[in-house]
Structure 1
Amino acid sequence: MGFFIDVILPIPLEKTFTYKISPTEANFLKPGMRVAVPFGKSKIYTALVLKIHTSEPQVYEAKDIHQILDEVAVVTHAQLELWQWIASYYLCTLGDVMRAALPSAFILESETIVQKNNRIEIKDSELEDDEFLVYEALHHQSSLTIHEIASIIERKNALPVIKRLLDKQLITVQEELYEKYTPKLVRYVKLHVEYTGEEALQKLLDELDRAPKQKEVILTLFSISASTKKPVKVSYLSEKSQASSAIIKALIDKGILEEYYIQQDRVDYGGLAKTRDKSLNTHQEQALNNINDAFEKEQVALLHGVTSSGKTEVYVKLIEDALAKGKQVLYLLPEIALTTQLVNRLQGYFGEQVSVYHSRYSVNERVEVWYNMLNQSTKAQIILGARSSVFLPFHDLGLIIVD
């Protein structure tokens, strides 16, 4: 009995596609995980697993997957159901929904890599000018991407030149997946375990008498570590000890210091002082009570108020109630209304529970918000975002505010 998966491809085709997997892969894979799959003659796409089964396709031979990209699902069951509803209601394909819903960093695409064919020799005089420029560049670099070739010659000529070089068998091409998301790694440093004992540390300091700047770095590191009980950033150590990066590198090279990296969110709550809850005035109290009464009968309530009429304070009370019940909150606004002032105001009330998701943030920042939600982090209890935030992996959404 063979195992197969049905996958969604990020292309506008009506149907899903079936690929062959091994029994081990079948035990590991779950709906919502990403796999890299071959499609067509040479392309590799990121596909999303929709279903795992044992029914072999009848009209074509299923290909093997290229590789598994995730250890856990990046799309939840509820999201997949939403995607299918959207595709049906709006008469679009699941691939269209996938491309709209996922941060672009999740949709890895294959990059055409061009390499020199060392088995074929040719005289420079036999090459046209554009061909010569590309071929010469491959003498100095082992491979080039299409984008890099387009920067060497005119962009419109890149593909025709590559085709001509292929016809002359002077180059080879292959497809390689490239990852768009790169975690932000912060560099830290610590004293090597060999010098953590009192006697060893004193001996080290004596030896560094001839290198006073290096000694100052060690003393500063020891002082920071003792007072904060936290990992020490290289940048902070450099600032406090007034040492250059070369001095710290010398200590690392000698094995006195050890460097290591910790992944850090790009979007970080700045630790603003928490805003005291404001008491609602009579009109705001009445609006809040009317909304709560409406929620007893319906799932939707409409609050009308002109700009600066105090609606945000009412929203804050509703958000507090939702959080107290262990629910998540989605606060939707147009992109133009997503101002730093509003973000700071909400973070003033709720601290790092507020995450922001919109196009002005980088792809990497949006991926981190997505992962925080998947992991049910406290940083993702309130999402302040534009319309694309409806696609985020909410686990227990209790309140939606459309402002």
Structure 2
Amino acid sequence: MSKVPTVCEVAVFAPLRQVFDYRVPAGLNPRRGARVWVPFGTAHRVGVVVAVHGDGRGESAPELKPLDAVLDAEPLLDPAMLRLAAWSADYYQHPLGDVLAALLPTVLRRRQQLPDHGRRGWRVTAAGRAEQATLGRRAPKQRRLLDHLGEAALPEQALVELDFDWRATLRRLQARGWVEAVRLEPPAPQPATPGPTLNAEQQAAVDAVGAALGEFQAWLLWGVTGSGKTEVYLDLIARVLAAGRQALVLVPEIALTQHLLDRFRQRFGSRVGVLHSGLGERERALTWDACRRGEIGVLVGTRSAVWVGLPTLGLVVVDEEHDASYKQQDGFRYSARDVAIVRAQQAGIPVLLGSATPSLETLANAARGKYRELRLDARALAASPPAIECVDVRGLGLRGGLGDQLVEAMHAHLARGEQVMLFLNRRGYAPLLICRHCGEPRRCDRCDAFLVYHKGIDAARCHHCDRYLPMRRPASCCELPEIAPIGLGTERVEEIVAELFPGHRVCRMDRDTVRHPATLAAMLEDIAAGRVDILIGTQMVAKGLDFAAITLVGIVDADSRLYALDFRAEERLAQLLVQVAGRAGRAARAGRVLIQTHQPRHPVLRRVIDHGYGAYARAALAEREQASLPPFAAMAVLRAESPRAERPLAFLADARRLLLDGGEAVEISFPIPALMERRAGRYRALIVLSAATRGAIGRTLGPTLEALDGAARAARVRYSIDVDPQDTL
């Protein structure tokens, strides 16, 4: 017979490292994984029960505060998710309450309940149908929403793709009686539609992973761009669904992998759920709940989807596993890829890491035998790899950054009715504004950074704190300043291309032109339909685009990352070059890639162009091993920030002394200012910890956390711990 719980341990949703004991009043039955409402200081907080005790401790400890309420009749977090949260809090040295909050949708972090888990839908009423044709110009958004609803009732999630505030429009239509809410039953699962016949390499990969679906193994699927990795994912997921299990698919960015999402929906229909930051609170909560209930068979999502409960999880896929966006860069600094691997390990299921340019960490794990490697070396549809050329632009007169060889190649490909893509990883019109009289550059007054000119809005912006300064505002340097834009951004390239190629349709794809998923979807549709001749873009165009008519890719400036200070910069450059080049010639027509550079003999460029990413990676791993850098060492960064310049460095000096007392074989750097010392009005500094093993770093940090918290309060600084950092500057 189970004991009546008398004491429970609660992790409160707050940045506090300890859990708290509460007495369980008679009549309450808190269960592990359920939320509770507890008194905390002079206020109340939501927390999660992480342990319950029925040993009478509550009776012998009357000083314990009692629970006020149990918010969930059934636990929201099962033992598997609680175990994953505990591992993550320990590994990333982060408060458990904050980690548990990441596992829940925003609405459940407050004293609220989930929205009705029945699917709410909307349909046009007879009155709305009568008014629909007359709306036109006087209410275009209302007309568009009514047209979108069509004849049948649609679930609310189907309205998310609209590129305007559909919620406000929906409320107005409902108030007029032109639409009404209806309850939709979840559609019955349909059998997966058959996929195309796999080639020999794809089939071998599916057979290898499929034979081990019931056991943990990390698999690296290393496939060249256009090799058909998605078909491998789909076939394996079909097997998992047929066995009554669920699958989790992580992608770097939903908006940029729309074609992948479409493929999943074509294959698995209504069993596919999507989770990303573009969804509203209600949509995220409903998707989270549907996953927990087993109503969703395949969850496709960005970084945060790794925390969604899937009770019958049978397979985890991490697409583009090398992508830096899988690492959270503020708050709870976790790597979704690494958490996904641990989740698969704890569940005893396989995890598939797919990439054309695997991270050096993943390649090192494959070389050690920790991961098993699968190769897809042939492009699907018998497409040939593109021809890659390095264009030496030293001493050449460039027009908007474009050399004669690239311009001539563009004319030739466009004349054949083919599409061209230009890549420049710098948005805006010009990255620098200077005064012609005194030469003073315009700087952000809150960051150690130059303002970037955006011609479309005639304003200077800081790309770090989003400071906005209209150009009509005078500069502080001179009485009559004359401001000139210097350098090149995608906006300026677009302007020059329009002048050089009149009559050709140009599309620019960057964060300034793509502010909503529907906008991006419309752009991609135009490109696929041949309504765009020249595509210009930033890193966005390197991810997930698959267009048969793009046969020429021009990398306008490959030099900006060649001499970056961070030790990962060259790896990211090599990955980016291969990914961008992979957009060319993905079907029957041959592809060509022109890389403009002032450093045509640079070792990274030569290795990637002459011998491929594998040759670059082998050389880079040898260099990392010699320098004792990850993946041949473990690393963590302790960062501090304050509005006062002297405080972060002083705190980190104290922190270094505390950490050195740990006695572990850990190297700890002296405090240094961050590469950009001032950002958003706060001064930043850091120290770097490195050791042969992650365990040594954990044993150094763990015992000092309480002392570090106290030192940070005394110094009036904010600090963070970044385990396995993506940058160390």
The alpha carbon displacement at 1:355 in A equals 0.7
Q: Is structure 2 residue 234 aligned with structure 1 residue 316?
A: yes
Q: Is structure 2 residue 13 aligned with structure 1 residue 13?
A: no
> Which of the numbers 64, 72, 75 marks the counterpart of 1:73?
75
Matches within 5 A, 1:233-272: none
CA distance in 2, matches of 1:47, 1:296: 34
- 1:272–1:347: 8 Å Cα contact kept in structure 2? no
Aligned in 2, Cα 1:352/1:330: closer, same or farther, shift over 3 Å?
Answer: same
Note the alpha carbon deviations across 1:89-122, whole angstroms, 9 max, x for none: 22222112112222221110xxxxxxxxxxxxxx
Aligned in 2, Cα 1:351/1:295: closer, same or farther, shift over 3 Å?
Answer: closer
Note the alpha carbon deviations across 1:62-83, whole angstroms, 9 max, x for none: 2232322222111111111111
Aligned in 2, Cα 1:297/1:368: closer, same or farther, shift over 3 Å?
Answer: closer
- 1:37–1:64: 8 Å Cα contact kept in structure 2? yes
The alpha carbon displacement at 1:17 in A equals 1.1
CA distance in 1, matches of 2:5, 2:209: 55
CA distance in 2, matches of 1:102, 1:371: 10
Q: State the partner residue of 1:107.
A: 109
Note the alpha carbon deviations across 1:259-284, whole angstroms, 9 max, x for none: x965569xx98x99985421112332
- 2:121–2:154: 8 Å Cα contact kept in structure 1? no
Q: State the partner residue of 2:299.
A: 383
Q: State the partner residue of 2:480.
A: none
Matches within 5 A, 1:53-202: 53=53, 54-56=56-58, 61-108=63-110, 179=112, 182-183=115-116, 185-186=120-121
Q: State the partner residue of 1:360.
A: 278
Aligned in 2, Cα 1:94/1:279: closer, same or farther, shift over 3 Å?
Answer: same
Unaligned segments of structure 1, at least 5 residues? 109-176, 190-212, 217-229, 234-243, 250-259
Q: State the partner residue of 2:310.
A: 394
The alpha carbon displacement at 1:345 in A equals 1.4
Aligned in 2, Cα 1:2/1:391: closer, same or farther, shift over 3 Å?
Answer: closer
Note the alpha carbon deviations across 1:360-386, whole angstroms, 9 max, x for none: 222221211221122222xx1111111
Percent identity, please: 32
SS at match of 1:63: coil
- What letter is aligned with 2:223? G
- 2:5–2:52: 8 Å Cα contact kept in structure 1? no
CA distance in 2, matches of 1:284, 1:365: 35
> Which of the numbers 262, 279, 291 marks the counterpart of 1:344?
262
Aligned in 2, Cα 1:282/1:232: closer, same or farther, shift over 3 Å?
Answer: closer
SS at match of 2:222: coil
Note the alpha carbon deviations across 1:167-212, whole angstroms, 9 max, x for none: xxxxxxxxxx5x48645755799xxxxxxxxxxxxxxxxxxxxxxx
- 1:3–1:20: 8 Å Cα contact kept in structure 2? yes
CA distance in 1, matches of 2:72, 2:106: 16
- What letter is aligned with 2:85? W
CA distance in 2, matches of 1:342, 1:232: 23
- 2:275–2:287: 8 Å Cα contact kept in structure 1? yes
SS at match of 1:83: helix
The alpha carbon displacement at 1:246 in A equals 9.2
SS at match of 2:223: coil
CA distance in 1, matches of 2:243, 2:27: 41
- Normalised by the length of structure 2, the TM-score is 0.33
The alpha carbon displacement at 1:336 in A equals 5.6
Q: State the partner residue of 2:33.
A: 32
Aligned in 2, Cα 1:58/1:186: closer, same or farther, shift over 3 Å?
Answer: same
Aligned in 2, Cα 1:247/1:391: closer, same or farther, shift over 3 Å?
Answer: closer
Structure ranking higher in helix proportion:
1
Q: State the partner residue of 2:45.
A: 45
Q: State the partner residue of 2:246.
A: 328
- 2:248–2:317: 8 Å Cα contact kept in structure 1? yes
Note the alpha carbon deviations across 1:16-68, whole angstroms, 9 max, x for none: 11222223212xx2111111112111x22111111222323988822232322
Note the alpha carbon deviations across 1:266-311, whole angstroms, 9 max, x for none: xx98x99985421112332233334446779971221111232211
SS at match of 2:241: helix
Aligned in 2, Cα 1:55/1:95: closer, same or farther, shift over 3 Å?
Answer: same
- 2:248–2:298: 8 Å Cα contact kept in structure 1? yes
SS at match of 2:46: strand
CA distance in 2, matches of 1:70, 1:86: 24
Aligned residues: 270
- 1:181–1:367: 8 Å Cα contact kept in structure 2? yes
- Normalised by the length of structure 1, the TM-score is 0.57
Matches within 5 A, 1:284-295: 284-292=202-210
Q: State the partner residue of 2:401.
A: none
Higher relative contact order (CA 8 A, sep 6+): 1
